[in-house]
Amino acid sequence: VQTDGDMSAAILAQSIGGGGGNGGSTNGATADLGGGQGVNVAANVTVGGGGGTGNISGAVDVINTGNLTTKGDFSSAIVAQSLGGGGGMGGSSNAKAFHLGGTSETSVTVNVGIGGSGGSGNDAALFRLDDGNNVIGAGVHVDNSGAIRTQGFNSIGILAMSVGGGGGGGGAASTDEEIVGGGSEGETSVGIGAAIGLAAGGAGNGGTVSVTNRSLIVTDGADSYGISANSIGGGGGVGGSATSGVLGKYAIGGALGGAGGGGGSAFQ
C-alpha cells in the first residue's frame, strides 16, 4: 500500500465509543408585580439535565504482511486505536426574578438554580476476547511483518493507542434579580438566591496495547517515531460554575461550584 497525500494513513483501524449526549439547559423567570398591602412572593427553581454516559469502545486487531509507504505529512503507516466515548456536558440552569414596580408591605423572592451533572467517560477496550469471552490478547494489538517507510512530518511507522473517554463538564448555574420600571420596594423585602453547580463526570480508563514488529521500519520526517504504543487514561471533566445575585433589604445569596471529575487510569 502507498499513499501520497497528507493525513493519509496506509492502514487505519479504530473503535470509538459513542459520546454521551448533553443535558438540556433550563431558564426560568418570575415577575413580582408589587402593589397592595399583602405579601408578594416570587419563587423560581430551575434544574439543568445531566449529561449522558459515553460508551465503551471495542478491541482493535491489525495483522499486516505487506509493504507500506506513505509520503505525506501526518501520514502514519499503521494507526490502530481504541477510544472510549466521552461523557456529555451537564445542562446549564438560570433562574431570574423581575420586580416590575409598585409597593407592597412585604416582598419575598426565592431563586434556586442547579446545573446538571456531567456524564462519565467510558473505558477503552481492556482486552480482546473470543466468542467464549476468554482473553486472547491486548485491547489494541498490531502484528506487522511488512516493510514500512514514511517520508512526511509527524508520520509514525506504527501508532497503537488506547485512550479512555473524557468526563463531561458540569453545567453552569446562575440566579439573578432585576428591577424594571423603577418601582419602590416595600417596607420589608427579602431576597434569597442559591446557585449550585454539580460535579463533572469521571473519565474512562485506557486499555492494554501490544505491538509486535518483525520487519524494517524507516521514518524520514521530523517527529516521526518508528513505533509509538500508548495507554492513556481520560481527563476528568470541569466542575460546573455557579453565580448568585440577590436584591432586598435582607439578602441571602449562596453559590457552590461543582467538583471536577476524576481522571482515568492507564493500564500498567
pLDDT less than 50: residues of the chain: none
Give the pLDDT of residue 230: 93
Residues 126-142 have pLDDT tens digits of 888 777 777 778 889 99
Give the pLDDT of residue 254: 81
Give the pLDDT of residue 27: 86
| Average pLDDT of the chain to the nearest whole number | 87
Q: Which residue bears the cell 493500564?
A: 267
Give the pLDDT of residue 101: 62
C-alpha 9/C-alpha 23 separation (Å) is 36
Give the pLDDT of residue 166: 92
Give the pLDDT of residue 163: 94
